[in-house]
């Protein structure tokens, strides 16, 4: 952090390099300062990042790379995503305590794009969080990839329904890959995920804000979706005084926009590679 445009010496707020996987489109991609910063109880910086943790377990981490095998776009190096807040001393600008997890390992990310996305505070005081589906961006992906020769990444590495880890999925019943972004449409009893959604969460707890529909059951979190499902969201802005979210999405034929009121906790679903959500 720099004190001013003329400050040549930055102050390090916190060092998260050991936890963040900085590879291709992955990294620390979301950052938001509490709008009440400077007031007691509000001195926090919020971070959203790709967590260098392999949920399959071997290897436990990848570092800032992805070897072959499994190959970045072949079987993928599986990781997760975290939302945390950092207590910061408003006088020094440095962290005044350890990282406080809000959503831990709550996103499935097999491939190095369509990762977690953006953070923004809304006029309602809630925190809006975006995340992609973590699926292949070079092939149609419904959960069939993984398990190649010598690869540590198994097929269907997140165990998406109706199969289990190590079992390639096939249509029409497949619910993995890019179809994770459609998890609210899964059959009854199958988990609703955070992948491909805009989430509206309580910034103090990471839990879903009141008025959510439907309630996701994400990995390791009680956060709730705040939009329809997105493949690769990267920016969120919320309009004041009525909290609307306008999301810009990239289609093969060009750009389009869609706005959805935030009276639900899930704002948008089923979009193909949206790259910006901004105020309309």
pLDDT tens per residue, range 61-100: 999 999 999 999 999 999 999 999 999 999 999 999 999 9
Could you report the per-residue pLDDT of 195-223, keeping only the tens digit for each?
988 889 999 999 888 765 444 444 444 44
Residues 6+ positions from 63 with CB-CB distance below 8 Å:
21, 52
| C-alpha span between 192 and 225 (Å, rounded) | 9
Could you report the per-residue pLDDT of 116-137, keeping only the tens digit for each?
888 999 999 999 999 999 999 9
Side-chain half-sphere exposure of 38, counting CA atoms within 13 A: 2
pLDDT at position 237: 54
- Largest distance between two CA atoms of the chain: 59
| C-alpha span between 19 and 190 (Å, rounded) | 30
> Residue 3: which pLDDT band, with cuts at 50, 70 and 90?
confident
| C-alpha span between 46 and 52 (Å, rounded) | 18
SS3 call for 71? helix
Q: Which residues pair with 87 in a beta bridge?
A: 44
| C-alpha span between 201 and 120 (Å, rounded) | 11
- The C-alpha R_g of the chain, in whole angstroms, comes to 18
Q: What are phi and psi of 108, to 5 degrees?
A: -95, 125
> Residue 238: which pLDDT band, with cuts at 50, 70 and 90?
low
| C-alpha span between 53 and 38 (Å, rounded) | 33
Residues 6+ positions from 40 with CB-CB distance below 8 Å:
none
Helices assigned H by DSSP within the chain = none
Whether the per-residue pLDDT at 275 is higher than 50: the answer is no
Cα-based torsion angle of the residue sequence 231, 234, 239, 240 in order, rounded to the nearest 10 degrees:
130
């Amino acid at each position: 952090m720099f004190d001013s445009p003329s400050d040549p010496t930055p102050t390090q707020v916190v060092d998260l390099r050991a936890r963040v996987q900085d590879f291709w489109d992955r990294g620390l991609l979301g950052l938001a300062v509490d709008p009440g910063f400077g007031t007691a109880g509000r001195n926090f910086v919020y971070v959203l990042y790709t967590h260098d943790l392999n949920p399959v377990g071997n290897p436990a981490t990848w570092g800032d790379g992805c070897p072959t095998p499994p190959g970045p776009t072949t079987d993928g190096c599986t990781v997760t995503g975290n939302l945390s807040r950092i207590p910061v001393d408003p006088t020094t600008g440095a962290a005044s305590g350890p990282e406080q997890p809000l959503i831990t390992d709550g996103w499935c990310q097999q491939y190095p794009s369509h990762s977690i996305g953006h953070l923004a505070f809304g006029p309602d005081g809630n925190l809006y969080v975006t995340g992609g589906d973590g699926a292949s961006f070079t092939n149609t992906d419904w959960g069939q990839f993984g398990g190649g020769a010598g690869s540590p990444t198994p097929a269907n590495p997140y165990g998406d329904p109706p199969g289990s880890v190590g079992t390639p999925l096939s249509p029409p019943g497949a619910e993995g890959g890019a179809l994770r972004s459609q998890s609210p449409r899964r059959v009854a009893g199958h988990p609703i995920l955070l992948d491909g959604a805009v989430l509206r969460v309580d910034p103090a707890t990471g839990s879903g804000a009141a008025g959510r529909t439907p309630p996701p059951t994400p990995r390791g979190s009680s956060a709730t979706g705040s939009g329809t499902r997105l493949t690769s969201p990267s920016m969120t802005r919320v309009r004041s005084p009525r909290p609307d979210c306008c999301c810009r999405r990239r289609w093969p034929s060009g750009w389009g926009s869609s706005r959805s009121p935030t009276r639900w906790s899930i704002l948008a679903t089923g979009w193909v590679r949206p790259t910006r959500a901004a105020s309309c």
